[in-house]
Amino acid sequence: MLNKIIKSCKYVANNSKSVKINQTNLDKFIEKIKKVETEHWLSFSPYNLLDLPIETIINFLLVYEAIDFSFWGNPK
């Protein structure tokens, strides 16, 4: 599976020096998404995390965010 992803990204990786950000369109995009009303992902949790005691929520978020850092360094 990973080989398919790598193969499909090869063209983009080899030609990424030609990529530029169109500042005019970027500003238009920012204006468009600024108007999007969203709720925090915890509100949509299938486990009703927000109904748990505050201490449990904090512990969950600490572990949840710590997982992001477990992939850094060598060895990963």
Instruction: Determine contact, residues 43/57, Cβ cutoff 8 Å.
Output: no
d(CA 10, CA 13): 5
Structure confidence at residue 11 (pLDDT)? 82
pLDDT reading at 10 higher than 90: no
The pLDDT, as a whole number, for residue 45 is: 75
Report whether pLDDT(58) > 80: yes
Q: Where are the domains of the chain?
A: 38-76
How far lies 73's CA from each of 28, 63, 70, in Å?
38, 18, 8
- pLDDT 10s digits, 11-57: 888 888 877 888 889 988 888 888 777 777 777 777 788 888 999 98
CA–CA gap between residue 8 and residue 5 (Å, rounded): 5
